[in-house]
């Protein structure tokens, strides 16, 4: 598996931006998910007492990634959790739609135990893109903090 993410310093003032890449679309999703989770808290300091199974379908992989990352922010706020680990599988259906199936693990926010980083408020469309280039995929994401 080959994925990566890199936080960008001078892309968006008062926001957090990152580029993610992967050899496959699934690896791109993995890298982008790691970036958002890492932006919220150090995942190595977060337990796994909270679990959420997820299934999503979209016509466009860019919309699927945007919705998935937005879901992370929603569950952080709605359930008061940060995340430690996740699994996900991305597939393309016969009709051309893209499907995500996964599971998130984490625990309730606890600043005494966890290394909390940013209160991520949302994923923005500012400078957002997902592209297949050559043999890999890349994305640019700006996160409202």
Q: Burial code of 55-81, b = ≥16 C-beta within 10 A, e = fewer?
A: ebebeebbebbbebbebbbebbeeeeb
Number of domains the chain contains? 1
DSSP string, 12-71: STTEEEEEEEESSHHHHHHHHHHHHHHHHB-GGG----EEEEEEEEESSHHHHHHHHHHH
What CATH number is associated with residue 50?
3.55.10.10
- Tell me if 15 is assigned to some domain: no
The pLDDT score that the predictor gives to residue 8 is: 72
Q: Examine residue 84 and state whether it is found in any structural domain, yes or no.
A: yes
Residue 45 lies in a domain: yes
Find the domain containing 71 and state its range. 26-138
pLDDT of residue 50: 99
| 36 in a structural domain | yes
With a cut of 70, say whether residue 111 has pLDDT above it.
yes
The per-residue pLDDT for range 20-35, each reduced to its tens digit, is: 999 999 999 999 999 9
What mean pLDDT, rounded, does the chain reach?
94
Nearest to 5 by CA among 58, 59, 65, 64: 65
Instruction: Examine residue 126 and state whether it is found in any structural domain, yes or no.
Output: yes
Residue 13 lies in a domain: no
pLDDT at 107 > cutoff 90: yes
Is residue 145 in a domain? no
Answer yes or no: is pLDDT of 96 > 90.
Answer: yes
Chain segment 36-78, per-residue pLDDT in tens: 999 999 999 999 999 999 999 999 999 999 999 999 999 999 9
10 pLDDT above the threshold of 80: no
- pLDDT for residue 15: 85
- Indicate whether 115 belongs to any domain: yes
């Amino acid at each position: 598996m080959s994925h990566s993410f890199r936080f960008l310093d001078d892309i968006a003032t008062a926001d957090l931006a990152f580029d993610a890449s992967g050899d496959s679309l699934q690896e791109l999703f993995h890298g982008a998910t790691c970036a958002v989770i890492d932006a919220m808290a150090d995942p190595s300091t977060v337990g796994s007492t909270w679990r959420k199974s997820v299934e999503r379908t979209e016509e466009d992989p860019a919309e699927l990634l945007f919705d998935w990352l937005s879901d992370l922010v929603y569950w952080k706020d709605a359930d008061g959790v940060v995340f430690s680990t996740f699994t996900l599988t991305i597939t393309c259906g016969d009709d051309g739609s893209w499907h995500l199936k996964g599971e998130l693990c984490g625990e309730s926010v606890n600043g005494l135990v966890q290394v909390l980083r940013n209160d991520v408020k949302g994923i923005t469309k500012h400078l957002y893109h997902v592209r297949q280039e050559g043999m890999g995929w890349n994305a640019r994401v700006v996160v409202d903090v």
